[in-house]
Amino acid sequence: MNLEIETKKTEQKLLFITGIGTEIGKTVCSAILTKYFKADYWKPLQSGDLHATDSMKIRDWVGDGVICHPETYRLQLAASPHQSALEEGVLITVNDFTLPETQNNLIVEGAGGLMVPLSDKEFIIDLIEKLQLPVALVVRNYLGCINHTLLSIMALQQRNLKLEYLILNGNFPPDTERVICNSIEEETKIIRITDIENITKENIERSTKQLTNLG
């Protein structure tokens, strides 16, 4: 019995953070989960904003002790990865990506949503499938978010990809939240993160302390 308990304690946590679209707070949610799980962080692909990358934000928000693994691709143009890569004469394929070697827990943050193209033929969802990681889907309230959420959940189900967490980032009308939460499987855990008006290390810490029993 003691051996079983010890095994559960040391089991590595691997998680791919994606969203129902862009600018919905994936990096903030990644920072909170990186801190909660005491995890490493990896952004496989950074497209634009090389002066202020998501990895840089994670270091600022989580703290100097966090390990941020190097991006596989750092592209100059702030656009869809397939367009940014084309500008630099690069062809991205999912086989270019390999999980960083670490004994720590690992949070992986994607670019945009599931159907963001890496090339004309491959998408972020193909990368998740290649890496074989469970998913945390970030949702934010806006007109159309129910449609985008349910389509994202359907896409994951069609690929037999595990939706481990549904992250409700910010406040939701009760009717919207009910429809979204009714669309997930029973084993999917719901994480609620309140709005952070001023994103600082201290406020990330405060939000992290509000999370409990995520496994």
Q: Which amino acid, one-letter code, is at 144?
A: G
Q: Are strands 106-113 and 40-42 parallel, antiparallel or unpaired?
A: parallel
Beta bridge partners of 69: 42
Catalytic residue from among 26, 35, 43, 57: 43
Q: Where are the alpha helices (DSSP H) in 65-123?
A: 81-87
- CA distance linking residue 78 with residue 165, whole number of Å: 28
Q: Where are the alpha helices (DSSP H) in 18-169?
A: 26-36, 54-62, 81-87, 124-131, 145-158
43 is catalytic: yes
DSSP string, 167-191: EEES---HHHHHHHHTTS-TTPEEE
- CA distance linking residue 135 with residue 14, whole number of Å: 9
- CA distance linking residue 130 with residue 107, whole number of Å: 16
Q: Which amino acid, one-letter code, is at 9?
A: K
Catalytic site positions: 43
